[in-house]
Structure 1
Amino acid sequence: MEPLVSTPTGITQNSRLNKAISRGLTYLTQHQFPNGEFCCYIAADEPMQGWCLTESTVFATMVVASCLLPLADRPETEAMLAKASGWLQYQMHHGGVWPVFSDRHPWHALVPYDTDSMVYASAFMRARGIDCPSPTNLPLLLANRTRKGLFYTWFLLRLNWQTNPTHWRITAREVLHPINSFFFWRANECTRADVDMGINTNVLYYLGDVEATQPIIAELLRVIAEKREDDCDKWYRNPFTIYYLMSRVYRQGVTKLEPARPAILERILATARPDGQLGKSIFDTALAVTTLLNLGFASPILDQAIEFILQAQAASGEWPRWLFYYGGPKLLQGWGSEELTTGFCLEALARYQAEHPHA
């Protein structure tokens, strides 16, 4: 396939990639909070150019830190990962669960524990070689499933009897604070019975191809076959995010997702623009590049997407903020930051460089 436009000489040279990666890491080093946290904002518009407020979410830090894992051999990255790991361990609650918001957020004790935070943080800790949580949270996770075998988004009291004592302990806040619980469910678009497939994809990433995850694999294949990736999760509303999460699982060895691979590639490549952008933003482009690499795709389109990322980097090292996850299908608000976008861009550049070492 011919490139959409001619690219500058030396686009993929390691010197350019190294410079961009170093600048991005310097930015994150300078903007990581002393406690190890990375900044996150809540906003109403995707480019986050309207009203924008700081939100201390635990999830944002575990995502940025996970993006930096391919660069862990660099001293500056290792320093950031060590600080982030320590902060995430501090934020962990009994049973190996993590709150949506940190202990300095007013909603810290209001929002129920969620599956996504648990599995994303647990997978990160495993990648870091940290024995956390200990004891394991697997029995608690496996107890939080529907009759069809998919995983609920929230850890809550349900009609079915629970024999796991930790489940009773972490859901007790709902009984102890019934008024807070009532207003939480009334004010938000989520429901007690939510089953979100982006979150289930992250469960699959954590657990791997085992008996308990076969319903997830089957449902993900249906989601792609039926073109429901833009409406299969209340939080991950961007189809590029779903592609990215699925590709992580595929690269990890869950090859049963292979039937979805051609459709994902086709849908990403259909969004390619002459300037190298994939999707509608630099954020989409970064997710797309990592997805294409995870799925074993190579083309001049990929090279041009890398060039687009390189040219979009600010002089101070960051890439522009964009909403990553949302508060529901109405898209009234969502969360993102320069730190999140920069994490995804650095992951894309690092993965590309690793697979093109002599470019």
Structure 2
Amino acid sequence: MTSKLSQLDESIASGIAYLEEHQYPSGEFCCYIAADEPMQGWCITDSTVFATMVVASCLLPLTDQPLVDGIVTRATDYVTSQMHHGGVWPVFSERHPWQHIVPYDADSLAYASALLTDRGSGDLVISSTPLLLANRNEQDLFYTWFVLRARWPANQAYWQVAIKELRQPITSFLFWRANECTRADIDLGININVLYYLGDTVQTQPLITALIQMIEEGREGDCDKWYRNPYNIYYLLSRAYKRGVTKLAPVISPIVTRLLSVVQADGQVGRSVLDTAFTITTLLNFGVDLPLLSPAVSFLLSKQSKTGEWPRWLFYYGGPKLLQGWGSEELTTGFCLEALALYRQHQ
């Protein structure tokens, strides 16, 4: 056991060193857009604010280490610098030509707001909750996009954010024509991240019910246009559960059963290092201790590069056709470090 813990500590330290070395001076982390899941074909750097939010959030269990605290502080400062008027975030950074074309989205708002709150900057996101609550459909599920609709929310800040598309009607029209998303999208993966931020409240009860039903019906692989990976959905649900939304408990048993059915002899779960990292974190967040954890951790350790990183793999996608998606070594490494840190604490 002592040897395994020592190996864990060395792996975590190596991964942290990689992220520190590869974090941009601005605090941003690299992200790529690619067409294949292993990202071995064409692969182009794509500057997204969202990737940095995600990596920083993964590192929160390690912020008792000064080196990690510095990494997360720089990332959080970068995320704060990218906040737009009205208290919202764009998907893409100020360096990206698409920043002013893509509408503001609930996923970026929820992820950034949770991160800033956890880092003691909740005063910067006081408008997040009313904005999110104004962005629901008749079933009280959360829309993906902050856009103009026939149903008028009684929230002035919402309209100040949504009116963005009127400033460029032609490019807005072309955006909806060119992409697989729609103005009325209800993506349950994104809804989970909203639940993670808002928590178990009167307003989120319909969402909790919908998420439990989604797992009961086995729709986790097709419940969201962006999070197309069921292991990712399991991971997101476990984050919300661990944060206090314990009414999600009915999803634990079916998720564990499905994970047990896809464990491979070498400890890999699913099709990638990323799937395996998601699985480890999912089980630990749910408080489930299974024999598969140890071989899954050993698999992650065996796949770490000598320079500290884990291989890139698509994290989220551009739609159900899977024509393109986003990922990077930094993103995979963030998820692997989170899994190993939680396992280390568990041990």
Give the structure-1-normalised TM-score: 0.95
Matches within 5 A, 1:14-33: 14-33=5-24
Q: Secondary structure at the match of 1:150?
A: coil
Where does residue 166 of structure 2 map in the other structure? 175
> 1:84 aligned to 65, 75, 87, which one?
75
Q: How far off is 1:339 after superposition?
A: 0.2
CA contact (8 A) 2:113 2:125 kept: no
CA contact (8 A) 2:113 2:122 kept: no
Matches within 5 A, 1:141-160: 141-160=132-151
Where does residue 105 of structure 1 map in the other structure? 96
Where does residue 283 of structure 1 map in the other structure? 274
- Residue identity in the other structure for 2:69: E
CA contact (8 A) 1:95 1:140 kept: no
- Residue identity in the other structure for 1:338: E
Give the whole-Å Cα distance in 2 for the aligned partners of 1:47 and 1:78: 30
User: Could you say what the CA RMSD is over the residues aligned between the two structures, in angstroms?
Assistant: 1.0
CA contact (8 A) 1:95 1:137 kept: no
> 2:216 aligned to 225, 232, 235, which one?
225
Q: How far off is 1:302 after superposition?
A: 0.5
- Residue identity in the other structure for 1:254: V
- Residue identity in the other structure for 1:64: V
Runs of 4+ in 1 over 4 A off after TM superposition: none
Give the whole-Å Cα distance in 1 for the aligned partners of 2:298 and 2:289: 15
Q: Percent identity?
A: 60
Q: How far off is 1:354 after superposition?
A: 0.5
Unaligned stretches of 5+ residues in structure 2: none
Q: Secondary structure at the match of 2:222?
A: coil
Q: How far off is 1:11 after superposition?
A: 8.1
> 2:189 aligned to 189, 198, 203, which one?
198
Give the whole-Å Cα distance in 2 for the aligned partners of 1:260 and 1:298: 16
Unaligned stretches of 5+ residues in structure 1: 1-9
Higher mean alpha-carbon deviation, 153-162 vs 335-344, is at 153-162
Give the whole-Å Cα distance in 2 for the aligned partners of 1:123 and 1:333: 27
Give the structure-2-normalised TM-score: 0.98
Where does residue 228 of structure 2 map in the other structure? 237
Q: How far off is 1:202 after superposition?
A: 0.6
Give the whole-Å Cα distance in 1 for the aligned partners of 2:278 and 2:153: 38
Q: How far off is 1:87 after superposition?
A: 0.5
Give the whole-Å Cα distance in 2 for the aligned partners of 1:73 and 1:321: 26
**1:74-132 CA distances to partner (integer Å, 9 max, x unpaired)?**
11101111100110000011222100000000001000000000000100111111134
CA contact (8 A) 1:58 1:91 kept: yes
Q: Secondary structure at the match of 1:323?
A: coil
Q: How far off is 1:12 after superposition?
A: 6.6
CA contact (8 A) 2:110 2:128 kept: no
> 1:342 aligned to 321, 333, 343, which one?
333
> 1:48 aligned to 5, 25, 39, which one?
39
Give the whole-Å Cα distance in 2 for the aligned partners of 1:119 and 1:130: 14
How many residue pairs align between the two structures? 347
User: Is structure 2 residue 113 aligned with structure 1 residue 118?
Assistant: no
Give the whole-Å Cα distance in 2 for the aligned partners of 1:136 and 1:181: 25
- Residue identity in the other structure for 1:273: Q
Where does residue 332 of structure 1 map in the other structure? 323
Q: Secondary structure at the match of 1:199?
A: helix
CA contact (8 A) 1:85 1:125 kept: yes
